[in-house]
Amino acid sequence: MPKEVIVIGLVALAGILAGGAYTTWKTAKVMAGVLAVLTLVALGGAIAWYTS
């Protein structure tokens, strides 16, 4: 599997997680924080995978 496919998948996952964090911010701030951290992990993974 080409590494670009995995990078695109991780970026898409980060987008979904960011949307979830944005949506849950008003009702559940702790869960929004967890989703934001997972967003950063997914983006970091995409960057690390792309540069390796």
C-alpha–C-alpha distance, residues 35 and 52, integer Å: 26
pLDDT at 1: 76
| Successive 10-residue mean pLDDT values, the chain, 52 residues | 91 97 96 97 96 90
Tell me the backbone φ, ψ of residue 25, rounded to 5 degrees.
-60, -40
| 3-state SS assignment for residue 40 | helix
Q: Which residues contact 45 (CB under 8 A, 6 or more apart)?
A: 10
- pLDDT for 2 equals 85
Using CA atoms, how far residue 50 sits from 17, 20, 35, 38, 42, in Å, is 20, 25, 22, 18, 12
What is the residue extent of each domain of the chain? 3-51
